[in-house]
Amino acid sequence: MAKKPPKLFRKEYTRDKFDRTILKKIYIKEYKDYVQKAAHTTAAGTIKVEPGIDKKQRKKLRKIAKSVKKNTGFVLKGRLILLALIFGAVFVFGALFKDMLIEHGAEAGLEAVFGAKADIQGLHFQVFAGRLSFEHLEVADKQKPMRNLFELGQTAFDIDLWEILKGNVILEKIMCRDIKWDTPRQSSGALYAAPPAASSSASAEQTEPEKTGPDLLNFTITAEDAAKLIEEQKQNLGSTRLLDELTRDYSTLDEKWRDQITQSSGKLEELSASVEKIKSIKVKDIKTLADAQKAYNTLKPAVNDLDTVKKSVTGISTGLKKDLARVSTDTERLADAANADIEHLGSMVGLSSAKQGGVVDLVTRGILRRYVGTLYSYIYQARTYMDMLRPTSEQKLPGEKPRRLTGIDILYPTFVKPKFWLKDMSFSVVDDKSFGTIQGELQNATGQPDLIGKPMTWSLRQTAGGRSVELDGSLDLRKNRTPVLELTLTMENFPYKLEKGLEFLSVSGLDCRYTITAGFSLDNRNYSSGSLRIKLTDLKLEYGEDNLITRGLKKALAGPGYISIGAEYTIDEKGNLKLEITDNNLDTLIGAVIGSAMGELRDEVRARIRTELDKQLKDARAKYNEQYKKLSALKKELDGNMSKINEYKKTVDAKKKELEKKIRDFKNNLLDNIKDAL
Amino acid sequence: MFITWIAKIVAALNSNTRPRQIAAAICFALLLALVPKANLLWVILFVITFFLKINQAIELVFLAIFDLLALLADPLLHLIGYAVLTLPALQGLFTTLYNIPILYFFKFNNTVVMGGLLTGLVLFVPVYLLARKGINVYRDNIREKIANSKLVKGFLKHPLIAGIKNTFGKAYNFYSNLR
């Protein structure tokens, strides 16, 4: 059955056109020959394939015609049109749905970073202006799914589009109004059901055993207690020991001196007769030299005896005086020993004045645990989020080797920017019911701070209901930087209540307002340290029983009306808090008041102990005094003897002088008479 | 798989495909093989070939073959790339290109990428001319001889091969009619 040739060959062609359109596009000699054979030249000089070919010929010509058609042009127009259509569709779709797509993309990104649901409303992206804005954004708290980690009101981002083409997200400026934290949610913000994770702040907030403080109330003492105390401590008391010793010592002294003095008194008695006899000599009545010489001779032994007795009494007196001087020293020693014993006994009833350090420590620890601990956990969280912003491409999988040579990336002068960089952000909340007024700024937030060479810095000011918080800080995650975090926190006029731990001061509760100025620094090992100053004002203490301490506290706090505490603290990598109070006025105030009261009490207790000690030493002291009196009496007797001796000596000496003069006169008269006689 | 590749090459060479389509396919395959993958430059080059009238079957077959050769050529490509990228006269140009955002993804500053690209471009024309010449020579002189050889004729007359040819022929016709 005759068939029509394919469409390409039905037309009539001029020779040139036939060559150009068909033959030039046949590259197989066999095909070329076949076509030339099938084609005929018409009377008009044109070339065409005549109809009436068989099926086999048609089939072959169709195959050739198809390949000829394919061999035209360089571009696949169909595919290009399809591509253009796809691009067009994408563009139209993007124009219509770009905001929605970005919204979903941003929500997914935030959910990946924060690990909880994120919701954005009213997002609008202006491509050529590089501005992204939205009406509302909220991100749930991973730890507390029924609360938002933060919420943003009307917000606008200025994005560097040029950098987007380099794959970097650089936010030139973010302006945000009505930022809120920790707000309640209508629905759970958990992405998936996860077991409740242990709070990162647990370590910082872990409960420490309550500090009860020293027992300051056990300081009173009764007479019975004093007697009992002296009895218990008798072995350790120097005064009783010394008193016994002296009493024993003085009894031997008495014996020693009494005999000597009695002997001297006897001798003196014997001498008194001789002295009386000498006294009775009347020198005027003596008429001769012989009588005078005789009287003088009777005087001589008495003078010698008197000298001997005087010498003996002087020796006894010197010795006795020496012993009496020792007795005087011993009296002083006894008084000193008694005072030392009173001091010792006084110390046994807990009158130390250095036991007021617990209050400040307790208050400071409470505030630190409550606020700085929470802050520490927030910082820890923030650091985790910053780490998540680091590009994952930096983390190469171990053991993954490319098949081909990787070559070298030649670097040219350029400013390599981080994958994410928030240059400047400012936000504010004006007179919110819950948060009051907030103003905040954040600069240079990035996961690659080494590329920008700056740390992330921020400042936050919040004022609400007379309270205010100021938080300024910097987070430096650049390599080998220490400290990583530096923070200054000022919290003013916040209420504080302490209900436990002050019982040892007879205080059942402390209600006040506080102001904190705290410095905080954290290094690479999560080891943090800082200093803080706490000022407690509007102090209201609920006192228990009325005693010395409560009176002291009242008196102390009535003065300045505030408590000021300075402290330095460290939190190690495990979250353990170490606190050292550097200065505080409370201890000084309480110390001064309690110290004064303690002084009074100490005197009272000492007097009581002195009375009791005196009572107990009474017998021993009486014996001692008796001995002392005896010695004194001996001394008196000795002194009497000495004066007698002196009187005798005076009398004898006078008589002696008188007699010597008489004898000299007699001798002179006698010589004159002899001279006259001669 | 290897037989499939041979079949594709044989089919392309023996069909009425323009020699330059096959030659261009070989040249693009060489270029794509020399330029390391995983960068935007390679992706763009590859996508371009989809819109050009070149024999894609040949391109893919030769890409696989040249990939193996590129492994051996890498040290040389690195040296060429390094020499060009560090050429003082071109520093200004490369610095400008380096700072153009989208070009970052081309990884042109990598020595192997630059070496591969330049070598591929330099070899493009000679390989193209050679390939076209070779195809023409084959079609004009060798194809007929092979087709008329007793071995091929005997092979094609084998009942099994004739059956396969018949079946594939029908399937091809059916597919062609559908299009």
Tens of pLDDT along B128-172?
A: 999 999 999 988 888 878 877 888 777 777 777 777 767 766 776
Contact: B112, A405; criterion CB under 8 Å: yes
Looking at the predicted structure, is the pLDDT value of residue A352 above 50?
A: no
Q: Looking at A214-228, A397-411, A435-449, A593-607, which range is the least confident one? A: A214-228
ipTM of the complex: 0.79
**Per-residue model confidence (pLDDT) at position A270:** 83
The predicted model gives A336-361 an average pLDDT of 64
A426 CB-near residues (< 8 Å, 6+ apart): A173, A174, A175, A176, A439, A440, A441, A442
Contact: A407, B111; criterion CB under 8 Å: yes
**Per-residue model confidence (pLDDT) at position A354:** 38
Separation of alpha carbons B153 and B148, rounded Å: 7
**Per-residue model confidence (pLDDT) at position A51:** 80
Are A165 and A258 contained in the same domain? Answer: no
Evaluate whether residue A371 is within a structural domain: yes
- What SS3 state is found at A495? strand
Contact A245, A623 (CB under 8 A): no
Are A11 and A136 contained in the same domain? Answer: no
**Per-residue model confidence (pLDDT) at position A205:** 41
Domain count, chain B: 2
A581 CB-near residues (< 8 Å, 6+ apart): A357, A360, A361, A364, A565, A566, A567
Contact: B53, A30; criterion CB under 8 Å: no
The predicted model gives B53-74 an average pLDDT of 91
Cβ of A377: how many Cβ atoms within 10 Å? 19
B81 CB-near residues (< 8 Å, 6+ apart): A407, B110, B111, B112, B113, B114, B115, B116, B118
**Per-residue model confidence (pLDDT) at position A370:** 63
The predicted model gives A453-465 an average pLDDT of 88
Contact: A163, B99; criterion CB under 8 Å: no
The answer to whether the peptide bond before residue A495 is cis (omega within 30 degrees of 0) is no
DSSP states along A234-293: GGG-HHHHHHHHHHHHHHHHHHHHHHHHHHHHHHHHHHHHHHHHHHH--GGG--SHHHHH
Q: Which residue of B has its CA nearest to A411?
A: B109
Contact A219, A349 (CB under 8 A): yes
The letter for the amino acid at A436 is G
Contact: A408, B82; criterion CB under 8 Å: yes
Are A150 and A182 contained in the same domain? Answer: yes
Contact: A404, B102; criterion CB under 8 Å: no
Contact: A412, B95; criterion CB under 8 Å: yes
**Per-residue model confidence (pLDDT) at position A402:** 57
Are A258 and A115 contained in the same domain? Answer: no
For residue B42, what are the domain limits?
Answer: 2-143
The predicted model gives A99-116 an average pLDDT of 89
DSSP class of residue A524? T
The two tokens of residue A315 are: 């020796």
**Per-residue model confidence (pLDDT) at position A371:** 60
Give the residue with greater pLDDT, B130 vs A640. Answer: B130
Separation of alpha carbons B112 and B39, rounded Å: 12
Q: Looking at A186-195, A306-315, B106-115, which range is the least confident one? A: A186-195
Instruction: Please choose, from the candidates A513, A558, A569, the residue with its C-alpha nearest in 3D space to the C-alpha of residue A537.
Output: A513
**Per-residue model confidence (pLDDT) at position B25:** 95
Looking at the predicted structure, is the pLDDT value of residue A391 above 70?
A: no
> Which parts of A503-659 are beta strand (E)?
507-522, 528-543, 563-571, 577-584
**Per-residue model confidence (pLDDT) at position B149:** 81
Q: Looking at A190-204, A275-289, A578-592, B142-156, which range is the least confident one? A: A190-204
Long-range contacts (CB closer than 8 Å, 24 or more residues apart) made by A238-241: A238/A337, A238/A340, A238/A341, A239/A334, A239/A337, A239/A338, A239/A340, A239/A341, A239/A613, A239/A617, A240/A341, A240/A616, A240/A617, A240/A620, A241/A337
User: pTM score > 0.90 for this model?
Assistant: no
Are A462 and A514 contained in the same domain? Answer: yes
Are B107 and B154 contained in the same domain? Answer: no
Give the residue with greater pLDDT, A550 vs A125. Answer: A125
Are B54 and B11 contained in the same domain? Answer: yes
The predicted model gives B33-57 an average pLDDT of 92
Looking at the predicted structure, is the pLDDT value of residue A208 above 50?
A: no
Query: Which among A74, A75, A167 is the nearest to B104, CB-wise?
Result: A167
Looking at the predicted structure, is the pLDDT value of residue A434 above 80?
A: no
Evaluate whether residue A496 is within a structural domain: yes
Chain B: nearest CA to A199, how far in angstroms?
42
> What are the tens digits of pLDDT across the range A132-151?
899 999 999 988 889 998 88
Contact A563, A515 (CB under 8 A): no
Are A372 and A274 contained in the same domain? Answer: no
Evaluate whether residue A403 is within a structural domain: no
Separation of alpha carbons B167 and B179, rounded Å: 19
Looking at the predicted structure, is the pLDDT value of residue A75 above 70?
A: yes
Q: Cα dihedral angle (B159, B161, B162, B164), rounded to 10 degrees? A: 120
**pLDDT-based confidence at residue B93 (cuts at 50, 70, 90):** very high
Helix axis angle for A289-347 and A585-677, nearest 10°, is: 170
**Quick one: chain B helix, strand, coil %, rounded to 5?**
85, 0, 15
Helix axis angle for B19-34 and B40-50, nearest 10°, is: 170
Element containing residue A149 per DSSP (H, E): strand A147-152
The two tokens of residue A120 are: 């954005």
**Average pLDDT of chain B to the nearest whole number:** 87
**Per-residue model confidence (pLDDT) at position B63:** 94
Separation of alpha carbons A110 and A420, rounded Å: 13
**pLDDT-based confidence at residue A356 (cuts at 50, 70, 90):** very low
Separation of alpha carbons A72 and A70, rounded Å: 6
Please report residues of B whose CB lies closer than 8 A to that of A160. Answer: none
Are B139 and B155 contained in the same domain? Answer: no
**Per-residue model confidence (pLDDT) at position A119:** 93
Q: Which residue of B has its CA nearest to A163?
A: B101
Are B126 and B160 contained in the same domain? Answer: no
**What residues does A463 pair with on adjacent strands?**
A437, A468
Tokens 């109070």 belong to which residue? A581
The two tokens of residue B105 are: 């993804």
Pairing of strands A155-159, A169-177: antiparallel
The letter for the amino acid at A461 is R
The predicted model gives A571-587 an average pLDDT of 77
Instruction: Report the share of chain A in percent with pLDDT over 90.
Output: 6
Interface test with A, best of B13, B35, B46, B53 (most A CBs within 10 A): B53
Q: Looking at A343-357, A589-603, B47-61, which range is the least confident one? A: A343-357
Looking at the predicted structure, is the pLDDT value of residue A610 above 90?
A: no
Separation of alpha carbons A464 and A254, rounded Å: 90
Are A637 and A670 contained in the same domain? Answer: yes
Phi and psi, residue B73, nearest 5°:
-85, -10
Chain B: nearest CA to A474, how far in angstroms?
31
Contact: B36, A404; criterion CB under 8 Å: yes
**Per-residue model confidence (pLDDT) at position B14:** 85
**pLDDT-based confidence at residue A215 (cuts at 50, 70, 90):** very low
**pLDDT-based confidence at residue B175 (cuts at 50, 70, 90):** low
For residue A246, what are the domain limits?
Answer: 223-353+603-677
Q: CB contact, 8 Å: B176 with chain A?
A: yes
Separation of alpha carbons A178 and A187, rounded Å: 21
Please report residues of B whose CB lies closer than 8 A to that of A25. Answer: 16, 18
Q: Looking at A141-155, A296-310, A445-459, which range is the least confident one? A: A296-310
**What residues does A59 pair with on adjacent strands?**
none
Are A346 and A256 contained in the same domain? Answer: yes
Contact A169, A163 (CB under 8 A): yes
> Sheet harboring A136-140: ordered strands across?
A118-121, A136-140, A147-152, A180-184
**pLDDT-based confidence at residue B66 (cuts at 50, 70, 90):** very high
Evaluate whether residue A400 is within a structural domain: no
Domain count, chain A: 4
Query: Which among A26, A29, A71 is the nearest to B144, CB-wise?
Result: A29
The two tokens of residue A37 are: 């054979």
Are A164 and A229 contained in the same domain? Answer: no
Are A524 and A415 contained in the same domain? Answer: yes
The answer to whether the peptide bond before residue A483 is cis (omega within 30 degrees of 0) is yes
Chain B: nearest CA to A466, how far in angstroms?
51
Are B132 and B169 contained in the same domain? Answer: no
Looking at the predicted structure, is the pLDDT value of residue A255 above 70?
A: yes
Evaluate whether residue A140 is within a structural domain: yes
- What SS3 state is found at A170? strand
Are B59 and B133 contained in the same domain? Answer: yes
Are A568 and A650 contained in the same domain? Answer: no
Burial track B161-174 (b if 16+ CB lie within 10 A, e otherwise): eeeeeeeeeeeeee
Contact A551, A217 (CB under 8 A): no
Which residues of B, range 136-175, sit inside 8 Å of A by Cβ? Answer: 136, 139-140, 143-144
**Per-residue model confidence (pLDDT) at position A219:** 43
Tokens 């700056």 belong to which residue? A454
Contact B49, B56 (CB under 8 A): yes
**Per-residue model confidence (pLDDT) at position A306:** 83
Evaluate whether residue A494 is within a structural domain: yes
Element containing residue B50 per DSSP (H, E): helix B40-50
Evaluate whether residue A404 is within a structural domain: no
A185 phi-psi bin (left φ>0, alpha ψ -120 to 50, beta other): beta
**Per-residue model confidence (pLDDT) at position A223:** 61
Contact A428, B134 (CB under 8 A): no
Are B170 and B134 contained in the same domain? Answer: no
Element containing residue A311 per DSSP (H, E): helix A289-347
The predicted model gives A198-219 an average pLDDT of 41
Report the Cα A382 to chain-centroid distance in Å: 24
Sign of the alpha-carbon dihedral angle for A271, A275, A276, A281: positive
Separation of alpha carbons A315 and A415, rounded Å: 112
Tokens 């002087």 belong to which residue? A314
The two tokens of residue A534 are: 């706490």
Instruction: Please choose, from the candidates A498, A588, A541, the residue with its C-alpha nearest in 3D space to the C-alpha of residue A210.
Output: A498
Are B126 and B177 contained in the same domain? Answer: no
**Average pLDDT of chain A to the nearest whole number:** 79
Instruction: Please choose, from the candidates A122, A115, A101, A165, the residue with its C-alpha nearest in 3D space to the C-alpha of residue A145.
Output: A115
Please report residues of B whose CB lies closer than 8 A to that of A410. Answer: 82, 85-86, 94, 109-111
Phi and psi, residue A101, nearest 5°:
-65, -45
Evaluate whether residue A59 is within a structural domain: yes
Are B42 and B129 contained in the same domain? Answer: yes
Chain B: nearest CA to A433, how far in angstroms?
46
Are B168 and B115 contained in the same domain? Answer: no
**What residues does A529 pair with on adjacent strands?**
A521, A570
The most distant pair of C-alpha atoms in chain A lies apart, rounded to whole Å, by: 234
Q: Looking at A184-188, A329-333, A570-574, B92-96, which range is the least confident one? A: A570-574
Cβ of A574: how many Cβ atoms within 10 Å? 9
Q: CB contact, 8 Å: B81 with chain A?
A: yes
Q: Looking at A90-104, A346-360, A601-615, B22-36, which range is the least confident one? A: A346-360
Residues of A with CB under 8 A from a CB of B: 25-31, 64, 66-68, 70-71, 73-76, 79-80, 83, 162-167, 403-414
Are A105 and A194 contained in the same domain? Answer: yes
Interface test with B, best of A22, A63, A64, A74 (most B CBs within 10 A): A74
Separation of alpha carbons A68 and A272, rounded Å: 181
Q: Looking at A97-111, A383-397, A525-539, which range is the least confident one? A: A383-397
Contact B30, B127 (CB under 8 A): yes
Contact A204, A369 (CB under 8 A): yes
Looking at the predicted structure, is the pLDDT value of residue A209 above 50?
A: no
**Per-residue model confidence (pLDDT) at position A374:** 63
Tell which of A590, A621, A649 closes a domain: A590
Total residue length of chain B = 179
Tell which of A557, A590, A623 closes a domain: A590
A119 CB-near residues (< 8 Å, 6+ apart): A107, A136, A137, A138, A139
Give the residue with greater pLDDT, B20 vs A587. Answer: B20
Are B80 and B163 contained in the same domain? Answer: no
Q: CB contact, 8 Å: B64 with chain A?
A: no
Please report residues of B whose CB lies closer than 8 A to that of A29. Answer: 139-140, 143-144
Are B154 and B126 contained in the same domain? Answer: no
**pLDDT-based confidence at residue B54 (cuts at 50, 70, 90):** very high
∠ at Cα A268 (A266, A271), nearest 5°?
115
Tell which of A70, A90, A105 closes a domain: A70
